[in-house]
């Protein structure tokens, strides 16, 4: 690790050590080292010729429900096979330390996987829903996925209204769940430090959150191997992958105690 990165890590750890109300905001990048492709990287395998923005939409589902259904069943299998990586585990350790110190830490994620929960984080806000939950596209009634649904060519039907079943995620062009987004806005408005990990900062309204934090005087730290929209406004930019940077950040934090 270069001396300059080490110096920035110490700076970031010192800011976290004095913070009273820490919030984390994560994007697809934190799950990359668990083998889950990010939205911006080329889709893998048979999905390379499809645009995720098209598939993750009402239009895409209406146009080809079978294709969208099989895409989600393949992604669900990928999530279930994946394991939390050291980046996820470091954020779970951070929650433990933050709760010991100030009794709270919220983790807001754009991701639809459950790797933060499986790593041990307890207060996770899923802005874009969860690929592990299913519901009717029409009446929104919850649906418990059955084994044979996973191999099915087409989405199952709702027993109540006959609508098609879909993952309980927020598609492009769909509103976020009002209560979840309001809660995310509130914790971000009240925080004094926002740790942003693995997001390109292009998907709205999630991408607004770092601006709200900074507008309220919070320190914004960005962890990402690439420069990005959030890195442009961040107080501290840690250029590296979540799986490498976050454990080192926690080690630095523990050495300040
Ligand atoms: C909304 C669930 C109000 C689905 C997702 C036209 C019509 C309608 C809306 C719009 C429109 N034009 C713009 C909009 C708004 C639109 C939007 O923001 N579009 C963008 C693309 C311009 N937003 C919406 O539609 C939202 N709703 O606005 O409602 C409305 C309603 C109607 C009409 C108007 C407005 C809903 C957005 C939610 C979409 N659903 N997910 C599913 O997953 O199947 S978002 C989806 O994209 C994922 O959740 C993912 O998280 C996200 C992508 O963002 P990132 O997480 O940042 O991931 P990305 O791949 O982009 O970047 C990864 C980053 O990680 C990179 O920076 C990379 O460098 C970094 N990285 C890589 N490896 C690592 C790493 N970092 C750390 N460690 C590593 N190892
Ligand atoms: Zn229904």
pTM, full prediction: 0.96
Residue at token pair 């919220």: 106
For ligand 1, whether the C-beta of 241 sits within 6 Å is yes
Q: Which helix (H) or strand (E) holds 121?
A: none
Active site residues: 128
Question: Quick check: CB of 58 below 6 Å from ligand 1?
Answer: no
The per-residue pLDDT string of the chain (257 residues; one tens digit each, 9 = 90 and over) reads 676 889 999 999 999 999 999 999 999 999 999 999 887 676 565 567 788 888 999 999 999 999 999 999 999 999 999 999 999 999 999 999 999 988 889 999 999 999 999 999 999 999 999 999 999 999 999 999 999 999 999 999 999 999 999 999 999 999 999 999 999 999 999 999 999 999 999 999 999 999 999 999 999 999 999 999 999 999 999 999 999 999 999 999 998 77
| 39 touches ligand 1 (CB under 6 Å) | yes
Distance 167 CA to ligand 2 centre (A): 13
Cross-strand bridge partners of residue 107: 24, 124
CA dihedral 124, 41, 175, 183 (to 10 degrees): 20
What is the b/e burial string over 100-129, where b = at least 16 CB atoms within 10 angstroms of the residue's CB?
Answer: eeeebbbbbbbbbbbbbbbbebeebbbbbb
Which residue has its alpha carbon closest to ligand 1 atom 58? 28
226 lines ligand 1 (CB under 6 A): yes
Nearest ligand for residue 164 CA: 2
- Residue to substitute in 38, 40, 87, 129 for testing ligand 1 pocket (most ligand atoms within 8 angstroms of CB): 38
């Amino acid at each position: 690790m270069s001396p300059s990165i080490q110096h920035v890590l110490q700076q970031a750890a010192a800011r976290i050590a004095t913070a009273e109300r820490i919030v984390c905001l994560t994007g697809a990048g934190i799950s990359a080292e668990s083998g889950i492709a990010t939205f911006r990287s080329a889709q893998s395998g048979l999905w390379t010729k499809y645009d995720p923005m098209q598939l993750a939409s009402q239009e895409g589902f209406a146009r080809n429900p079978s294709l969208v259904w099989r895409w989600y069943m393949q992604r669900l299998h990928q999530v279930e096979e994946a394991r939390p990586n050291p980046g996820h585990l470091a954020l779970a350790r951070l929650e433990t330390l933050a709760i010991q110190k100030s009794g709270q830490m919220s983790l807001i994620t754009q991701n639809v996987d459950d790797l933060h929960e499986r790593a041990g984080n307890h207060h996770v806000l899923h802005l874009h829903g969860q690929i592990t939950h299913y519901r009717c596209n029409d009446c929104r009634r919850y649906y418990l996925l059955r084994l044979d649904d996973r191999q099915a060519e087409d989405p199952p039907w709702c027993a109540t209204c006959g609508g098609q079943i879909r993952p309980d995620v927020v598609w492009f062009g769909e509103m976020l769940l009002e209560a979840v987004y309001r809660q995310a806005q509130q914790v971000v408005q009240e925080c004094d430090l926002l740790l942003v990990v693995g997001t390109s900062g292009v998907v709205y309204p999630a991408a607004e959150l770092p601006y709200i934090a900074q507008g309220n005087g919070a320190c914004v730290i960005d962890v990402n191997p690439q420069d990005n929209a959030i890195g442009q406004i961040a107080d501290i930019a840690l250029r590296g992958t979540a799986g490498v940077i976050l454990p080192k950040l926690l080690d630095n934090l523990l050495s300040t105690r």
